[in-house]
Amino acid sequence: MDFIDIAKNAKEASLKIADMPSEIKNSALNFIACTLENNKSQIFDANKKDLKEAENLVNEGKISKQTFNRLKLDDNKMRDMIKGIRDVAILADPVNKILLKRELDKDLVLTKVTCPIGVLGIIFESRPDVIAQISSLAIKSGNAVILKGGKESINTNKTILNLINMALSMTDGFPKNVLQQVFTHEDIAEMLKCDKYINLIIPRGGNKLVQYIKENTKIPVLGHASGICHTFVDSSADLEMAQKIVVDAKTQYPSACNSIETLLIHKDFQKKDELLASLELSDIKLIDKPERWDFEYGDKILAFKYVENLDEAIKHINTYGSGHTDCIITNDIKNAETFMNKIDSAGVYFNASTRFADGFRYGFGAEVGISTNKTHARGPVGLEGLTIYKYKLVGKGQIVKDYVDGVKTFTHKDLVS
């Protein structure tokens, strides 16, 4: 099918799902979760096929080891993927929430309400569980989606979306073409040109992918180019806490965008040698003089630096960070507050691993990605990030001329919704 036809179908579907009752959306989500649960072996078989083919791509240097690691769908990921769908089903419907209700004049009432964005174009690499996350959030928020995954996960992606769409086809009242998938590089080029039908592009992948998308489309882009996350160990930090947090933030999933890439240590932290030694014992390769500070290793490699004070740590992070997630480990509450107020990132943490920067862990059910944008949505993007708003005005024949001529005046009284 021609991409324009796919986009047109998505636009029509988005108009049908926009005001769909919560009961139908929730029923669809629960049916999807059951369908994936009952067909796990089919999904794992498809993933094994992708992994086998991806091994050759790694050996040929066509994909990175980091990409290969993200491709694997194990029992834990499958469990979280299915649980995420069920969690989204029990969340409050984000559509038609009243954000403002104001009487402009007697019998002239303005209401600001949430509504779906429309059609989302999602371009992602490696992680096949992304399809289930995005699909569930899109359904709940009343959006249609066109998905483009990486070639390295094509079998898993096809299998998961086919199962999801099978469940949707058996859900009474659910429209067709809400979730569609494309597969070629040519489709990406067409998607980026399709501003007539697509309302938002969300890339999930490496820096090169995101930069390419931003430079080649007029459609708004929501996402982050890189995950240069930091942890700053302050002079008053507890050694045991610092060890636990830094090891978790670097090794729990080294290729994740919320894994730390740089460790900053206050020069007066008394246990710095013990801290660094414990990190090396955790198989972390430490680099004290990196070629550049704004580099995303995506592996058990950690750049570190001693800083004079809190201000130097803040300046370093705001200079070299990507605005993703940064943490301070300290027992000084005043320093923690200063850090969290002055760091210009979507997530600022006090005594907690940066790996918590995740929609599932935030209680969003799932996420479509993490945004470092400063417009519309920031941080892990869940249901609220997939809605915008509209203004509804209800009157009884009022006209502007009466207010311009002074016949009538505005009351501008906020009403309790």
Q: How high does pLDDT run on average in the chain? A: 94
Nearest to 288 by CA among 260, 323, 311, 264: 264
Residue with tokens 């999807």: 32
Q: Which three-class secondary structure state does DSSP give residue 293?
A: coil
For residue 111, the cross-strand partners are 101, 392
* pLDDT at residue 32 is higher than 90: yes
Buried b (16+ CB within 10 A) or exposed e, 272-309: beebbebbeeeebeeeeebeebebbbbbbebbbbebee
Best CA proximity match to 390, nearest among 13, 121, 18: 18
- Least reliable range by pLDDT among 58-67, 328-337, 344-353, 396-405: 58-67
In this prediction, residues 279-288 reach a mean pLDDT of 97
Give residue 260's identity as a one-letter amino acid code: I
Output the DSSP codes for 358-378.
STTTTTSS--SEEE--SSS--
What string of DSSP letters covers 15-65? HHHTT--HHHHHHHHHHHHHHHHHTHHHHHHHHHHHHHHHHHHHHTTSS-H
Read off the pLDDT band of 34 (50, 70, 90).
Answer: very high
Backbone angles phi, psi at 56, to 5 degrees: -65, -40
In order of start, what are the domains of the chain with their CATH numbers?
Answer: 3-104+113-222+368-387 (3.40.605.10), 229-356 (3.40.309.10)
State pLDDT tens for residues 187-199: 999 999 999 999 9
pLDDT above 90 for 366:
no
d(CA 67, CA 249): 19
* Spatial distance between the Cα atoms of 117 and 138, rounded to a whole number of angstroms: 10
Q: Tokens for 324, please give them.
A: 């993703």
Q: Would you state the pLDDT for residue 1?
A: 85
pTM of the model: 0.86
The mean pLDDT of 340-363, rounded to a whole number, is: 95
Question: Which residues have C-beta within 8 Å of that of residue 206, sequence separation ≥ 6?
Answer: 125, 226
